[in-house]
Structure 1
């Protein structure tokens, strides 16, 4: 800024000095020309008076002599011209060699009765001349114009002298002015530089910076105002920082996602929970339209409805990226001083995906349990009614019906036992009960338990269990239940004469358990739903072999309780393989 002020001052000073010098030169030149003009007019009038006294007595030769004589006396060139513009006499040239002067500017004016004047370079003497022509009238003579001229060498010499002295004056005045200006500007700029430095420190967080200026002029007042502003700014920033810290802590501590948008549906706020929900970062999405983040037209329509009606509402929507069911409680953001003006919307989001999934699961579970219980109960009730109606007297019929009732009762017992087992596995408190499980011993024990059951169906159960497998922690009874369910399923769905393989080994930090059979297999389309409760690939066959539809659901929950995972490989007509991966740690 100092350079700009100094540069502007220099230019203004330079323009002022040069303008003053130019005006002075113009004024001196104009004054000199006026004085010269007056002198030439006076001399011309004297010549006219002399010639008028001798009107009719002077010959052309005498005119030439008079012109030369007077020209020497007044140190000027005298030219006498007739009414046609022809030169009658001239002090510098022979009149017969001179061209007609009727079109010369000053002569033309004089022939019209006015005093003419002009400045130009003379063709005759090749010098810049100042001409003055005065009109005259004689009765005995053709003389009509007396023209006097002097060269401007004197004025040019005066101008050069003036240029020299003015140049020296400009140079000295300019240097002195620049030195004074530099000191003055430097003194003015010093507190401004201090304030500039202070603003930099304040911008970087140094709110304790103050400006010390001793003057009581506008700069001093500005410094006092600056210090007052810095003090107020320090207090305000402190309050804003404290409020911002509390606000951030509040947003961070809230588990529910919070989203705020402006009137154009552009994001202005996301808390960490919302960032996690939508897998985005606030700095990457601020200013973007809400649909660029949450691609859901229902949400956008809901926001428009809030803006139009000033509503405080709640809705439930489904999103695809990510797949969630969200319950949104929205409120318009209103100005404190103008409650009728809405500047945006803040929405508190509750992820109810798991709640809705559990509700659906519970609803499906109740429906399935009701259906599964109703079938055997209906059978039992029907056979009891038949027996009451008289079939009890037929020994063969009675025994057959009682056997069926016994089978259905056993099926009900198994179903209730599986439901209770599944409920226990899903109980969080039950999952907390953990004990050391000797994996190799339990697997060998299961092999011995299930081998006779397989032999009854003429199925060969082959086990290959790695010795000294690592001990895992979990519910030992559940672990046995998982293995029994897998091996029992393999035996049930394998034809007589088939084989079932139970293998276990350690790979890296995992225990791998595989149960493979040579049975009927599972269609590819059914594998993704295999672990759903009450899902059966072939319902008729499942009931025939005594399945409840909960065995694999129990297996999956037990595997999850051990922090493991399970997958299935199967080909229809070739068999099925269940692979359980349990981490050692």
Structure 2
């Protein structure tokens, strides 16, 4: 019961744990909502940037189509095979003047991709190949306009772009390619790109343009124009001709949201970019502020609850803690309560009870001291010294060394004077010869043996513990054996004597159990008659005051005090039953166990079922035997409540002829029984170990069946000890 009470949490602890769990739950919920909100926000931003990139790509395509249409009108008026060169150059000059966009010039390329005409006219451009063979091949194959990737002007070294349309004759055959050449930087084309890409995604977002090789065609940072961003993830997706949006990092390592789309009719791509931390920064700030506010509010409420509980429960808590200390055996503990009321009187009664318990405990300590002295005597007998015999043999069983004790033993026993090189088998009795040879051969084959030898010397039985070990050389071969024998006759005799002492110790232990139970019954009786009656009288006097005309405040105090005394009377009665339940003596073991099961069920909220099939007839069990079985069941139930974490427990008692079989089974966590076998005392606890020993004295035994995760069943089996005469119970009737 005391072990169980120790594990009970105080109201303050429960309040703290509940508040802490509330804080953790609210914080966790806030974090989850924050993460989900941020995830949903990111999905919306990704969808927005995907659509924004697509719209921007179509706007750029429409803008480029205007220039392609004008180039196509010029190409339709030109026939490279029939027109005069002067006429063609005039058409190119007018186109150049009309479209300042082509600041790097205009050229007509033949079917082979070489320059036929150019404006301005440069001799160096004659027969110059088309700088972007991929774009030329696409125009030649599809007969549709196309815009080139970023290329380098072979004459000036500048980076340029080519807007190309096919030159087709009347039979729809390709005669050449008309290409408008535009500077990449500081040109009208760059201004046109800036207007189309002017749309922004968010406060910090912008869009940029790349060609089919990942080189930057337009960017708000002019230093990046013409450079390759092919390693950037969204640019890679554009190069794969994909449309969509992604969460990535920019060149500086910042988190960004990117949308990307293919420009229709080209192998270019538009990429939109926005700093993600700027988008979610305010949201994260306000979310953390909200979580901190909630936590501070809960901590304030927790403080208020603790303050109120301390004000109300401190006197009762002091009384409860003092009673628990006394129940644990700390009899020097004194409960100091200065309330000038019944609680103070109850504390004084508890102090008197502790003094009486201390005197009883002192008597038990004296008895234990007698037992300790007996144990010391047994220990000194067991630790007596013994003679030692040492000798060694070669592989032919011949002596190679021996001590005087062995020489004297052989001379005394067989009247043989042994020497080195003498075969030991010649000095051994025929009855022992065959066994000795088997042992020696096993050792010479590498075994290490330990044997106990018993013999009779001069009419006295002697014992030796013999250690046989092979002798190895440095190369691992065996050249003989050694025998080390310790005379353990005195130890054996001491062991025999120890068994007698242990039997006496068991008898004393049983007497101590009965004496302890008598003291517990006397203490319980005193507790019931003195403290119980005093509390009942106090309650009756308060009930008389309750009918008087008193101020409302006093009447409430009297009601609360009367309720508290009633609770203390109930606790005193419970403590009386737990120290030594009178029902065990008044109504027998079956009723006592039934009461114990009901009390355990009410205190710990565990479903416990009691099954019995006894049928004792007119015979009655011995009182000491009843106490032993009752304590064993109580110890098993407490161990189950403490360790098993079980939902249901089944207690059963069955009579099998003159044997009593008791089992306690649960559906708890179970344990590894091999660990119990390693150290029975530590695993079972002193209480169950003592009961196990006393069961052994009665011819009974204890069995444990358990497996991790599958519950535990402990079974006690013992012959029933009967008594012929049943003394009258000193206990009052229990209603």
> What is the TM-score of this pair, normalised by structure 1?
0.34
RCO greater where, 1 or 2, for CA within 8 Å and sep 6 or more? Answer: 2
> What is the TM-score of this pair, normalised by structure 2?
0.28
